[in-house]
């Protein structure tokens, strides 16, 4: 009870949720993940669409919005893998059965990331709250987009430019006031320096 009260101080946790609404929402999340994975792989050979669909940025953006607008933290933790696992399945099943290509190591790597996604979902859900914990949670996906997208300033790649745009979208959506967004941006810049200096993105299975 004390833990719930503490967490509700960051972002209010509803006492009750509609089971019917959550089943419908989570089903749509899974269907969306499956459809987007299919489209991403089907357009893989189409230059711009393929680049966007197979780039990390779009997936971080969509998943962040899904979990941020989930009704409760436990629902956000469920919806994160409900989005990623069907997406992963359709993406690699299409590659295997249609294209005859199945990179096992990449699949296992992204499967591990998907199974860990509830932790990210929990953090992003609280990112729409108040106070420093919420600011740090909001800074995490924003800094991930900045760390991946900053080379756009000298490469001008469309996918990297989109990463910076997605970072701005998340900054605006996850926090409600310009003051809090300024705090989040400052924290995100610090985290971006940490990500880039330690080359943490290299641990993702690209």
Mean pLDDT by 10 residues, the chain (206 residues): 84 90 96 94 78 87 97 96 97 91 92 96 97 97 96 91 97 96 97 93 82
* Contact present, 70 and 76 (Cβ < 8 Å): yes
CA distance 33 to 37: 6
pLDDT of 1:
66
Residue 59 structural domain = 17-126
Same domain membership, residue 101 and residue 27: yes
Q: Is residue 115 part of a domain?
A: yes
pTM of the model: 0.93
Q: Is residue 103 part of a domain?
A: yes
Same domain membership, residue 35 and residue 93: yes
Assign 107 to helix, strand or coil: helix
| Buried-exposed string 22-51: b where 16+ CB fall within 10 A, e elsewhere | beebbeebbebbbebbbbbbbbbeeeeeee
Of 79, 108, 126, which closes a domain? 126
Same domain membership, residue 100 and residue 25: yes
pLDDT of 49:
72
* Contact present, 73 and 23 (Cβ < 8 Å): no
pLDDT of 47:
67
Of 110, 126, 142, which closes a domain? 126
Q: Is residue 180 part of a domain?
A: yes
Same domain membership, residue 135 and residue 122: no
pLDDT of 37:
93
Q: Is residue 4 part of a domain?
A: no
pLDDT of 6:
86
- Number of structural domains, the chain? 2
Same domain membership, residue 116 and residue 35: yes
Same domain membership, residue 159 and residue 138: yes
Of 108, 126, 144, which closes a domain? 126
Q: Is residue 5 part of a domain?
A: no
CA distance 36 to 32: 6
């Amino acid at each position: 009870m004390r833990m719930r009260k503490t967490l509700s101080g960051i972002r209010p946790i509803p006492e009750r949720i509609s089971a019917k609404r959550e089943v419908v929402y989570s089903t749509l999340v899974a269907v969306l993940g499956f459809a987007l994975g299919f489209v991403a792989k089907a357009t893989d050979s189409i230059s711009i669409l393929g680049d966007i669909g197979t780039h990390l940025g779009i997936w971080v953006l969509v998943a962040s919005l899904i979990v941020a607008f989930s009704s409760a933290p436990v629902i956000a933790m469920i919806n994160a893998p409900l989005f990623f696992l069907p997406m992963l399945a359709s993406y690699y099943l299409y590659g295997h059965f249609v294209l005859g290509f199945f990179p096992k190591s990449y699949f296992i790597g992204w499967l591990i990331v998907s199974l860990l996604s509830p932790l990210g979902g929990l953090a992003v859900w609280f990112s729409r709250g108040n106070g420093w914990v919420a600011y740090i949670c909001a800074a995490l996906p924003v800094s991930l987009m900045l760390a991946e997208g900053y080379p756009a300033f000298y490469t001008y790649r469309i996918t990297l430019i989109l990463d910076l745009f997605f970072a701005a979208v998340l900054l605006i959506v996850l926090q409600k006031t310009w003051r809090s967004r300024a705090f989040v941006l400052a924290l995100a810049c610090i985290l971006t320096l940490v990500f880039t200096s330690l080359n943490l993105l290299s641990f993702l299975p690209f």
